[in-house]
Structure 1
Amino acid sequence: MPIQKVTKEEVVTQALFLFKKRGYHRTSMADLAAACGLLKGSFYHYFSGKEALMKEVLEAVHTYFKTKVFVIAYDESLLPRQRLEKMLAKQIRVACSTEGGCLMGNMAIETALVTDEFRPAMRAFFEEYLNALVHIYTYKYEPKKARQIAEQALVEYEGAWVMVKLTDSSHYLQDVLERALVRFDTHDSNTH
C-alpha cells in the first residue's frame, strides 16, 4: 500500500534529488519508490523503468534552466555584465541548493561511456548553456573568441564541481564566477 499519493512531477523531483546525491547507477528502483512513498511495484504506474525516469528528469532540469537561468542571458533590461553575473550566480545557487552538485555534469561523467541513452539530452542542455554564455560574451568579443571564452567558463564550472566534491569547499564555484566576470571586464577593444 502506498504511503502517499504522488504526482508524476513529484516523482521526477524526488528522483532528481536522489540521482544528484547517489548517481544513476547507485540509485535503485526501490530507492526511488521509497523516496516517493511508494511500493516498488507502484512506481511502474508512473514510469516504465529507471531509464525512462532519468530521461524525464534530464528534460525537467533542462526546461528549468532554459526558463529560469539561461533566459537571463537574453534579458535586455540588464547590462551584459549583469546578465553574466546574475546567470552564473543563479546557476551556482540552484546547483548548491541540494546535495550532489550539477546533475548534468554528474550524469555526463557517470553515463557517457556506458550508455548513449542520455547523451542527446545532456548535449542539448550544455549547448543551450554554452549559447547563453556566447550570447553575453559577444557583446565584448567577436563570435569565435566569445565561443572560446564561453567554453572555458563552462568547463571551469564543471571542473569546479569536482573540486567541491573532493574538498567540501564551495569557493571553487565563486572563483569560476569571478574569473568569468574578469574575462568579460578585461576585454581588449582591439580584439573585436
Structure 2
Amino acid sequence: MWAGIDIHKQDVRDINLFDSKIKEDRKKKEKKMKKKVLKKLYDSPTDLLPDLVSQSLTSHLTTSDVSSSTTSNRSSSYCLSPDNGNTIDVMRKMTYSSSPLRYYPDLTVEGVYDEAALIGKDFERIIELYGTDTIKDLVPKVIRILELLETQAAKNEKETDELTELKMRIEKLEMEKNETRGLREKFDKVS
C-alpha cells in the first residue's frame, strides 16, 4: 500500500526533472536564435546595421522620444528622397514580410526573434531601395522595442512555467489528500 505512494513521489521527481530539462532546452534555443538574429544584422549588405545596433545598446530611449516620434508629421517620414516625388506611392506598394499587428497572448522569445528577422529583411529592402540614411534613426528605436518585447516574452514564459508548476503542485496535493482520506477510511473500518 505504501509502495504506491513511493512510486507517486518518484513520478513527481521524474516530472520535475523533465520540466527542468525542457527549460534548459528552451534557454539554449533562445540563445541560439538570438545569435542567429544578431548575426543576420551584422552580416547585412551594408555596414550600417552593426553601428546602429551598438548605438541602440548605448542609447537610452525614453517614452518622450517614442511619443514625439510617433506624433510627428507622418508624411515627412515617408519622404525619403527629395528627388523622387513618387516615394510615398512606392512605400505604400511595398509588400511587408512581417505579419500584421495583432494581440499575441502566447508571445514567446522565439516568436520575437522570428519577427526581428522579418523586420531585418524589411530594413534590408528599404536600404537597397533608398539607402542607409532613410532608416538610420529608426533602427535603434526598433531594436529597443524588440528588446523590450523579448524581455516581456521571457517574463510571460516564466510566469506560464510557474503557473504550470503550481497547477501540478495542486494536483499532487489533491492526490495526496485523496490517498490519505482513503487510508483513513480503511483504518476506521479496521478499528
Q: Please give the range of the TM-score, normalised by the shorter of the 2 chains.
A: under 0.3
> Relative to total residues, which structure has the larger helix share, 1 or 2?
2
**Higher RCO structure (Cα 8 Å, ≥6 apart):** 2
Q: What TM-score, normalized to structure 1?
A: 0.23
Q: What TM-score, normalized to structure 2?
A: 0.24
Larger Rg: 2
